[in-house]
Chains A and B, each alone.
Chain A
Amino acid sequence: KQEVTQIPAALSVPEGENLVLNCSFTDSAIYNLQWFRQDPGKGLTSLLLIQSSQREQTSGRLNASLDKSSGRSTLYIAASQPGDSATYLCAVNPYNNNDMRFGAGTRLTVKP
């Protein structure tokens, strides 16, 4: 059964810093991996989707990488801003649109 782990559980950085969030998964046979952002009391907002055949995806200041062989993905946030403060979750889809497994999330705080 796929297990998804996110480290660290919480992270606090000063504004402007570049940072990396980590996601690891136990079964490398995945269909895709998705990064989400969740603000308090809100739903999950899709940030980046990486298909199994891809190595990375970029959107603005965000870059996500995928290494299936090692069971790892990273989310890189450049020049962090206070508005980036949120919980970031990664989710692994073992088969297309089946039981997507979520990590517990990393709670990011960017201090002005």
Chain B
Amino acid sequence: DAGVIQSPRHEVTEMGQEVTLRCKPISGHDYLFWYRQTMMRGLELLIYFNNNVPIDDSGMPEDRFSAKMPNASFSTLKIQPSEPRDSAVYFCASSPASTGELFFGEGSRLTVL
């Protein structure tokens, strides 16, 4: 398996623009997670899905953030409108229910000017 695949790897945008980050989890995994990593706050869980259903979105910072998982092989994280404080690396991760072992993608580095 190719692992968790994220796109884009880098995104530079201007304040106010819409940003969409994409993730393809490992095939067969039951859970999908979106994390954000910054120097100040470390890794933070934003939202996670179980079998495509959002379970906990309490980590989503504001209504500007939304996430969807229309099927088992694809998820998006959208920020609209984006702000400079959203600049961070956004990671997608997936895990099988059998072990709970977490596998991460390479991340999407977002810079909002």
Contact = CB atoms under 8 A, between A and B. Distances in A.
Contacts, number: 55
A108 interface: no
Given A44-B91, A99-B56, A104-B42, A34 B105 contact: no
A57 to B, nearest CB: 11
Interface residues of B, number: 25
Chain A residues touching B, range: 20 to 34
Given A97-B50, A99-B45, A34 B106 contact: no
Contacts of A76: none
Given A97-B31, A100-B45, A43 B100 contact: no
A96 B4 CA distance: 20
A98 B84 CA distance: 29
B56 A43 contact: no
Contacts of B109: 41
A94 to B, nearest CB: 11
7 contacts: A42-B106, A43-B105, A46-B102, A49-B100, A51-B99, A89-B43, A99-B59
